[in-house]
């Protein structure tokens, strides 16, 4: 007989800034009325509870620790086991498993991780352990336990954010017991990676954890004139100390540092005659040289204190200081001139940025019974300070072969006008989930955000926004294995990056999402199946190009969609992770902007109304599955499919893009693609060997598009990686 699904309490976990420790949670199973005071707990088991496979059973994306099955909203979790089997190194690679998510190429001023979810930007909705992580940098996975993607209007924080959803990275945290893992990988095109994960118990309630990484990657693309190629060179570490683990007072201190020293690749240009990636030059041509650079350092320090009043009552406070410094020089591709040896051909994209944040976040959650109804109550507040400086770099050379361009890291152009801002944001929020009759729950939440920002701009020196956001949901649990829900959330995005471009203040970004969904747990809870039907609207959508004078992209935009997802075990040996997203994004009202010279309002070409939005394919599908064979062998494979994606600027007042001589809307288009991967592994209790083959059929495809349309980034060619792992 199937075992009933048990709803998890939102307490009793060893947490680091929103991370989760399953071993701590396992010790907190008593939810009886008599358990009103939680004493100091002595740990009896000195080993970490085994991690989930492809189905996550715990998440804190809703600000309380619970099973994703119980959240009345679509949630996708990329687990550590899935990332390990696929040989995932970066956040971008991990998010290929999220159907409906696409990648933007290096934007003007928005380089680094930049994704679209359900057709909407996510750069204002990136989180690390529940704290906003919106800086422009490349994120790694060596210190992550899992990645939670909560779809909808920023509902993780009960309203704040954009329409697509929240991407929350969950860090590894200390646990009681000694454990270690070392991996080494080598592969084609200069791929090399070393990682280490070490946990050491110091006393009965104190433990220390250290994660480290070093990785280099080459490329199949070359500059034929210089024999130079793009590449990655990254390293980092994450150290965390847990004090009072599994007790009523728990303190975790952590620091994450990552460094980047890459050779950036801006891909290939579109052909204006075909609106497809150009074919005049081979797709393997790279316009940059070894003189180009993308150097950056991220330092993130977090302190988290959790006090558990009882098994049903918890107070949690986090404080974080983060500093993200970055400097890059990249070459843009051409359609008429081939690459040169001295970085003369192509445009120069340069940037220096230093972005600092201070965050204080505190939450209190409590489960209680009132008037015969069960309540799950949450109240909290947050303070965020953003301090940002951005400028271009100084050219120490020229523009000719005799005097080629030369930019140096961190050497800003004294003649440029930097973009600076300092912003303070304050928020309070509350939510209650009430089981008003058996099997029926209603969730109601509200949030008030206040943003006060000062800018270096002479035309828009300050901005002040105060907005309310709401969240509501009705859930029906027909059984412990089934969950049906109707949800609504609206949101305001108080990220200062979004607003400094307005010459005069325009209304803030707001989003509304309506969603109907169902979730089922199959095979004794080992396999999770979910589906969702949604409508997402956004008003006053902002530009991601931070130096653009057209701040507003669209006045109103909508995506209608349906999603299906399957994750977990079909049998004890067979695991699967799969998703399907069908999307219909549409511009409902065209942009209205302020002319930077006259101050007059200007509207985009009205013919953009009704057109398909940028970088949003009509369909996306992903599948990854593995099967354990006898004698320690394991095989697996999968496919990633995306439909065609558009790149164009919807803010223009000129004609809509067409083919030469045509009148029908036809913007630059990244073609649809299908990429297949495979894996075979030999696993033993203390060690393992794994062979990954990525892009088995050596398909030429384009996985990222510059959404304004000038160029597109080719994906990797066939690559074989061998990994050795030792556990102790």
| Chain segment 372-399, per-residue pLDDT in tens | 999 999 999 999 999 999 999 999 999 9
**673 vs 334: CA distance, rounded Å:** 23
d(CA 326, CA 419): 15
Per-residue pLDDT reduced to its tens digit, 452-465:
999 987 777 888 99
Res 42 pLDDT > 80? no
pLDDT at 119 over 50: yes
Residue 200, pLDDT score: 98
Q: Provide the pairing of β-strand 144-151 with 165-171.
A: antiparallel
Looking at residue 122, its pLDDT comes to 86
Query: Which is higher by pLDDT, 533 or 503?
Result: 533
pLDDT of 707 reads 81
Q: Is the pLDDT reported for residue 48 higher than 60?
A: no
* Confidence (pLDDT) at 496: 85
pLDDT tens, residue by residue, 599-639: 788 899 999 999 999 999 999 999 999 999 999 999 999 99
How many Å apart are CA 297 and CA 272, to the nearest integer? Answer: 38
Confidence bin at 32 (pLDDT 50/70/90): very low
Res 154: pLDDT: 63
Q: What is the DSSP letter of 630?
A: G
What confidence score (pLDDT) does residue 107 get?
55
Distance between CA atoms of 14 and 145, rounded to whole angstroms? 13
Sorting pLDDT into bands at 50, 70 and 90, what band is 18? very low
Q: Tell whether the model's pLDDT for residue 30 goes beyond 60.
A: no
Residue 32 CB-density burial (10 A; 0-12 exposed, 13-18 middle, 19+ buried): exposed
Q: Cα separation of 254 and 264, whole Å?
A: 30
What's the pLDDT score for residue 47? 40
Q: Which residue has the higher pLDDT, 523 or 459?
A: 523
DSSP 8-state code for residue 157: G
pLDDT band at 4 (very low <50, low <70, confident <90, very high): very low
* DSSP one-letter code for 656: P
Quote the pLDDT of residue 157.
Answer: 59
Which pairs count as long-range contacts for 222-226, CB under 8 Å and 24+ apart, including other chains? 222/284, 222/285, 222/286, 223/285, 223/286, 223/287, 223/288, 223/289, 223/339, 223/341, 224/285, 224/338, 224/339, 225/338, 225/339, 225/340, 225/341, 226/289, 226/290, 226/339, 226/340, 226/341, 226/342
Q: What pTM value is reported for the model?
A: 0.89
Residue 159: its pLDDT value, please?
A: 66
Rounded Cα gap, residues 159 and 166, in angstroms: 11
Mean pLDDT calculated for residue range 84-94: 95
Long-range contact set of residues 660-667: C-beta below 8 Å, sequence gap at least 24: 660/272, 660/273, 665/607, 665/611, 666/275, 667/275, 667/614, 667/709
Task: Report the pLDDT averaged over residues 660-683.
Answer: 96
169: tokens are 């990275």
Residue 491 has pLDDT above 80, yes or no: yes
Residue 35 is predicted with a pLDDT of 40
Residue 540 has pLDDT above 70, yes or no: yes
Q: Of 416-420, 589-593, 681-685, where does the model show the most confidence?
A: 681-685
pLDDT score, position 623 = 98
With 0-12 / 13-18 / 19 or more C-beta atoms within 10 angstroms meaning exposed / middle / buried, residue 78 is buried
Q: Is the pLDDT of residue 476 over 80?
A: yes
User: Distance of CA 430 to CAs 124, 276, 714, Å?
Assistant: 21, 49, 45
C-alpha gyration radius of the chain: 25
Could you tell me the domains of the chain? 22-458+476-727 (2.40.170.20)
pLDDT of the residue at 33: 39
pLDDT reported for residue 652 = 87
> Confidence band (pLDDT; 50, 70, 90) for 8?
very low
> How far apart (Å, rounded) are the C-alpha atoms in residues 358 and 350?
27
SS3 464: strand
Classify the phi-psi angles of 275: left when phi > 0, otherwise alpha if psi is within -120 to 50, otherwise beta: left
pLDDT in tens, 149-194: 998 876 555 667 888 888 999 999 999 999 999 999 999 999 999 9
In the structure, what pLDDT confidence band is assigned to residue 575 with cuts at 50, 70 and 90?
very high
Select the more confidently predicted residue: 106 or 550: 550
pLDDT digits (tens, 9 = 90+) for 411-439: 999 999 898 999 999 999 999 999 999 99
């Amino acid at each position: 007989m199937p075992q009933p699904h048990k709803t998890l309490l939102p307490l009793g976990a060893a947490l680091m800034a929103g991370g989760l420790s399953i071993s701590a949670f396992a010790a907190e199973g008593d939810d009886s009325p008599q358990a009103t005071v939680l004493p100091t707990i002595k740990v009896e088991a000195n080993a970490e509870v085994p991690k989930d496979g492809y189905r996550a059973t715990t998440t804190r994306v809703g600000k309380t620790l619970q099973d994703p099955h119980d959240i009345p909203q679509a949630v996708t979790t990329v687990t550590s086991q899935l990332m390990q089997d696929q040989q995932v190194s970066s956040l971008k690679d991990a998010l290929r498993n999220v159907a409906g998510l696409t990648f933007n190429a290096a934007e003007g001023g928005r380089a680094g991780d930049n994704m679209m979810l359900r057709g909407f930007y996510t750069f204002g909705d990136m989180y690390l352990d529940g704290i906003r992580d919106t800086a422009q940098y490349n994120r790694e996975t060596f210190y992550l336990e899992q990645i939670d993607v909560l779809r909808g209007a920023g509902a993780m924080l009960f309203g704040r954010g954009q329409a697509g959803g929240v991407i929350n990275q969950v860090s590894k945290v200390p646990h009681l017991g000694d454990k270690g893992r070392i991996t080494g990988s080598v592969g084609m095109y200069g791929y090399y990676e070393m990682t280490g994960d070490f946990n050491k118990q110091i006393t009965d309630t104190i433990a220390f954890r250290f994660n480290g990484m070093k990785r280099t990657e080459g490329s199949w693309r070359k500059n034929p004139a210089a024999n130079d190629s793009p590449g990655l060179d990254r390293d980092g570490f994450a150290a965390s100390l847990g004090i009072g683990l599994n007790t009523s007072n728990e303190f975790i201190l952590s620091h994450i540092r990552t460094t980047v020293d890459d050779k950036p690749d801006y891909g290939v240009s579109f052909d204006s005659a075909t609106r497809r990636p150009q074919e005049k030059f081979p797709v393997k041509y790279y316009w940059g040289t070894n003189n180009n650079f993308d150097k950056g350092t991220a330092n993130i320090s977090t302190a988290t204190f959790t006090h558990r009043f009882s098994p049903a009552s918890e107070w949690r406070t986090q404080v974080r200081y983060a500093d993200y410094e970055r400097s890059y020089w990249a070459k843009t591709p051409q359609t008429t001139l081939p690459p040169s040896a001295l970085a003369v051909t192509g445009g120069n994209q340069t940037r220096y940025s230093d972005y600092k944040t201070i965050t204080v976040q505190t939450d209190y959650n409590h489960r209680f019974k009132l008037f015969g109804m069960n309540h799950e109550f949450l109240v909290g507040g947050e303070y965020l300070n953003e301090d940002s400086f951005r400028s271009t770099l100084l050219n120490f050379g020229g523009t000719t072969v005799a005097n080629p361009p030369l930019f140096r890291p961190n050497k800003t152009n004294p003649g440029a006008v930097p973009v600076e801002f300092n912003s303070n944001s304050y928020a309070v929020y509350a939510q209650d989930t009430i089981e008003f009759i058996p099997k029926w729950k209603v969730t109601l939440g509200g949030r008030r955000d206040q943003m006060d920002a000062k800018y270096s701009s002479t035309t828009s020196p300050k901005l002040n926004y105060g907005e309310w956001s709401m969240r509501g949901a009705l859930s029906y649990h027909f059984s412990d294995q089934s969950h049906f829900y109707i949800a609504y959330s609206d949101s305001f995005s108080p990220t200062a990056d979004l607003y400094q471009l307005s010459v005069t203040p325009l209304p803030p970004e707001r989003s509304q999402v309506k969603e109907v969904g169902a979730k089922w747990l199959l095979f004794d809870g080992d396999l999770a199946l979910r589906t969702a039907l949604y409508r997402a609207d956004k008003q006053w959508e902002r530009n991601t190009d931070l130096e653009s004078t057209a701040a507003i992209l669209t006045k109103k935009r909508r995506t209608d969609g349906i999603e299906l997802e399957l994750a977990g075990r079909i049998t004890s040996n067979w695991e699967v992770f799969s998703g399907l997203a069908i999307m219909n994004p549409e511009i409902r009202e065209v942009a209205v902007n302020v002319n930077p010279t006259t101050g007059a309002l200007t509207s985009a070409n009205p013919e953009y109304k009704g057109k398909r939005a940028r970088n949003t394919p009509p369909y996306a599908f992903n599948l990854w599955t593995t099967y354990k064979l006898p004698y320690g062998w394991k095989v697996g494979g999968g496919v990633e499919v995306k439909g065609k994606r558009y790149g164009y600027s919807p803010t223009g007042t000129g004609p809509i893009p067409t083919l030469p001589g045509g009148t029908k809307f036809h913007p630059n288009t990244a073609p649809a693609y299908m990429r297949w991967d495979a894996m075979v592994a030999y696993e033993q209790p203390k060690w393992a060997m794994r062979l990954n083959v990525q892009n088995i059929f050596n398909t030429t495809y384009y996985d990222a598009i510059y959404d304004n349309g000038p160029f597109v980034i080719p994906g990797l060619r066939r690559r074989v990686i061998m990994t050795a792992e030792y556990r102790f």
